[in-house]
A and B are shown apart, each in its own frame.
Chain A
Amino acid sequence: MAMRNRKVLRIANRDLPFQLVLIAFGIVTFFPLVLVVITSLKSNTQFYHNFWLPELPFQFGNYSSAFRIIWRYIVNSVIYSGSTICLIAIIASVAGYVFARFSFPFKTVLFLAFIMLIMVPGVLTLAPRFVLVRDLGLVNTPFALISVWVSGGLVLSTWLMRSYFESLPQELFDAAYVDGAAEWQVFFYVSVPLARPMIATVAMTTLIASWNDLIWPLVTITDKDKMPLAMGLMQFSSDFETDWGTLFAGYVISSVPLLCVFAVAMRQFISGLTSGSIKA
């Protein structure tokens, strides 16, 4: 027992300088967030009277009045991002599987049609794409967002899925074929279950990209009750410009959805990106 304690102490001692720097860094990181939460519980009078510290009574009413407005945007975003994620997961796994497992005429050309788009920045296509979507009559509908988010996300997702399916050993598929599985059965019962970690990564990147996209909704959506969260927050922040408590309560509420997702998937997310396989 004593020895173990000494060992723990030694480790703690060696880590101490690093820990101190990290703690300082952590405090600076969380300070703005804590201040936002503190302010969200104040009335304007309390805020102007005391900028830094929490003050009684807490104004929980801020949260209910902010929620009355924000909930609509959150629901919209959940619907838009949710459909985008489902579509990308399905389309990218099928396409990735086809590219990884089969050889057929024009395969290289078709794959290049995907992969070359990695170098085409969104800012180049922004203006002509708006004209296209407008001429298709999609402006101010959810399809304007979903179609463009899906096609944009497909580029990287298909590539990721293809690399993943390629890394699976051939014996696995041979075994399924020998057992008499049809190709679609091999896909559904062997490949997709194995690719679950990669599908999760694809879903996560798609979620973050679509959830945070501001510019595209800004040019295609005009109705207040169709706005996704990012755009709705901009509207909200100009509507409640000087009502600091309600404003910050809205900010806190709108951070909750991603917080929930990451509470569940944080470990997977971190280990996926730090596996060291990502290189230039």
Chain B
Amino acid sequence: MTDRNDFLSREKFMAELWRYKKGSVTRRHFLGVTGLGVAAGVLGTAMPGLRSAAHAQGSIGDRVVVASWPNYHDPANFDAFSSETGAAVDLNVFGSNEEMLAKLQAGGSGWDVFVPTNYTITTYVEEDLIEPLDLSLLPNYDPASFDPRFADAGTVNGVVYAVPRNWGTTGFVVNTANLGGLPKPTTWKEFWDMTKAEFSGRTMVHDYQLTTIGNALKYFGYSFNSIDPAELAEAEKLLLEVKPHLFGITSDYQPSMRSGDAWMSIAWTGDGLQLHRDMPEIDYVLGKEGGELWSDFFAIPKGAPHRDAAYALINYLLAPDVNAKEVMFHGYPVADARVNTILPAEMLNDPIMYPAAELLDALEFGAAVTLTDPNRAELMARFKSA
């Protein structure tokens, strides 16, 4: 079970077959990876391949503590994990990567698994807060089936610290029923201008410096990641002007959007999709100027109290069939080709999950320096306390 090159799950086989059919791998690769070229009988022995290694060895303890994001996990999958392994899952949600980092820096977070975003992982490594992953305990993780664009950030100096969970974009949601004849906004400029005028008192921004400052920078056409003091000063001026017109500053904006208290909010892909699915009048918009493209990862913090359970849970959630259920719940795209073979076609064609290429091309990944830049941190704190 430990040597993944010799054994192959049904799902992985299907994924490889799918990739082969699509022409993204050669016949030789296909036969090599699947082992069909070597021994046809291998498949049979590998069929029960979805058991987690730790679980197969015995008890993983009775609990596992997860730090993640709002509206991000299907509770049914956690329940299934618990009934299968006997380990109950405790989910803590956070509003920003800064908040997660602060908690880990203060020591004794008690987490077993956390979900950091691409640009933060080098900092966690530098600060010695994150555990290198033992991939032999994650048989369901298949690097070959992941799009490296969304997976590479998990590897620092050749060591794998985090495995990709899903990716997404940062745009905004707008309740079109409240537009009152106005055209639907399509740019960050319109987002901020409308907040100051027609949508006064009805807009929310994240309690998260990266996206709130980043998209204020976009108003002026600057980089989402800018740490230039002059550009940040302009963004601050805009944010302070907008502040009195905001409904709230929070990273969990779904409840207020659903209740109708708020009409517009900075939002992530999956929240956009979940809201649009339940309330078709709410649209998800990617600002034409650009904004953030990101990828989230599973990682294990140093000193995790239930390490075996952490590996078991990550491995469980990476199983393509489980991951597909997660996607159907949260509505974020995954970079795992095996999952995409299972997902229904309408999800794979969903314009919220997979935006048009020209919109996607304008987006930037967050940069490590934005996480640690003291000026951005202080700007956000000033904005909030203003």
- Does B bind A? no
Chain B interfacial positions (CB closer than 8 Å to A): none
Chain A interfacial positions (CB closer than 8 Å to B): none
